[in-house]
Amino acid sequence: MTTVAVIGAGMVGSSTAMRIGEARLADRIAIVDVREGVAQAMALDITQALAAMGNDGRCVAGWNAVGGADVVVLTAGLPRSPGQSRSDLLATNGKIVVDCCREIRRRAPDSVVIVVTNPLDEMTALAQRALGFPATRVIGMAGTLDSARFRAAIAARLDVPASKVEALTLGSHGETMVPVPRLSTVNGRRLTELLSEAEIEQLAERTREGGAEIVRLLERGSAWWAPSAAIVDLVRSIVRDERRVLPVCAMCRGQFGVRNTYVGVPARLGAGGVVEIVDPGLTAAEVAGLRAAAEQIASRVADLDAVIGEDPAPPPPPEVAEGQLKVGVRDLVYESRIRVEARRALAREGALHRLDDVVAAALRRAR
């Protein structure tokens, strides 16, 4: 029996729960909201909708229903208002994420957690610390959404079916997003052969601004149809152990030169979460974009302690469980700080190429 829990019964959460039911990805769907009546209403409405469709799936409300869930989708938090950036939500949503993670840790300790709450990259890093789960079991959903937006923009510009377009975005779910037009194709032809650099940059910018464009139009709330479709893509690969490579916010442990930081990268997703992070053959310039995104995320994560006002992390799990480097949870934040400070100092000296060595030496001294 497969249980998928969705935390947050707003538009993203409830449409995700409905899509999971429609796609028959779970025998049982749990839905939770701080507004208990709303979660109960959504559970009833979704169960009745599934019955209308001849589908035996059931949706149940409340934290009790989350017990033993295989996958938990965390959407709880405030959406952006017009004019707000995703990072304006850092403090408010950070507290909500930490509270929800306490419950998830207790009720679904073996689950794979997909974080959707904004600011996505920072909330994913925070959730991993608060959960104390191996980083392979905590990922953020952004890349499948941003790549779908890039794909839709390319399809509209060239007037071709979206199904004939392959598009990839990496980096953050924000201004340091890294659309990768070099690896984007239309009917098998490289996008870079079909449009000029300037035209591609316009599409990339529209993609970076894709969420904000909808927030402005809605005036209240943010997108849900594309986010929920993009979430379900991840849920499917996990519950069916499809091991597809999808762009997600995942913890890098040295891949692309990014150490112990969450950032959007291509990852193979299976039953236990991230099976491996995959290098699609990025150029030096694309890797530089990815690293710039990772550094910005790391510096914001380093600020989270002050925002949250308490240490949400449980005792560090033994890293051997992940077969990774011996680095404790606290070090993730500590290393981010060292990295940000070292980066500033080395940039002044024009010696950024020494960054990894300097950070590694500082960490050795600190331990």
Residues forming contacts to ligand 2OP in the complex (CB under 6 A) are 118, 211, 214, 222-223, 227
Q: How far is CA 62 from CA 9, 12, 310, in A?
A: 11, 17, 27
DSSP conformation letters of 155-189: HHHHT--GGGEE--EEE-SSTTEEE-GGG-EETTE
- Please give the structure tokens belonging to residue 82: 């017009």
Q: How far is CA 266 from CA 120, 274, 278, 348, in A?
A: 16, 10, 5, 32
Using CA atoms, how far apart are residues 304 and 310, in angstroms rounded to an integer? 9
Considering the complex, state which of residue 64 and residue 85 has its C-beta at the smaller distance from ligand 2OP: 85
* Residue with the shortest CB distance to ligand 2OP: 211
Taking the complex as a whole, how short is the minimal distance between the CB of residue 73 and ligand 2OP, in angstroms? 14
Residue with tokens 């529209």: 206
Considering the complex, state which of residue 214 and residue 282 has its C-beta at the smaller distance from ligand 2OP: 214
Considering the complex, state which of residue 43 and residue 214 has its C-beta at the smaller distance from ligand 2OP: 214
Q: Are 77 and 96 in contact (CB under 8 A)?
A: yes
Select which of 173, 259, 291, 339 is catalytic: 173
Considering the complex, state which of residue 218 and residue 278 has its C-beta at the smaller distance from ligand 2OP: 218
The reply to whether 173 belongs to the active site is: yes
Long-range Cβ contact pairs of 49-58 (< 8 A, separation 24 or more):
49/18, 49/21, 50/21, 50/22, 53/22, 55/21, 55/22, 55/24, 57/20, 57/21, 57/24, 57/26, 57/27, 57/28, 57/29, 58/27, 58/28, 58/29
Taking the complex as a whole, how short is the minimal distance between the CB of residue 170 and ligand 2OP, in angstroms? 15
Considering the complex, state which of residue 21 and residue 227 has its C-beta at the smaller distance from ligand 2OP: 227
Using CA atoms, how far apart are residues 352 and 195, in angstroms rounded to an integer? 34
Closest listed residue to residue 141, CA positions, set 236, 243, 278, 23: 236
Taking the complex as a whole, how short is the minimal distance between the CB of residue 35 and ligand 2OP, in angstroms? 19
Pairing mode, if any, of strands 28-32 and 177-179? unpaired
Considering the complex, state which of residue 8 and residue 270 has its C-beta at the smaller distance from ligand 2OP: 8
Q: Which residues participate in catalysis according to the annotation?
A: 173
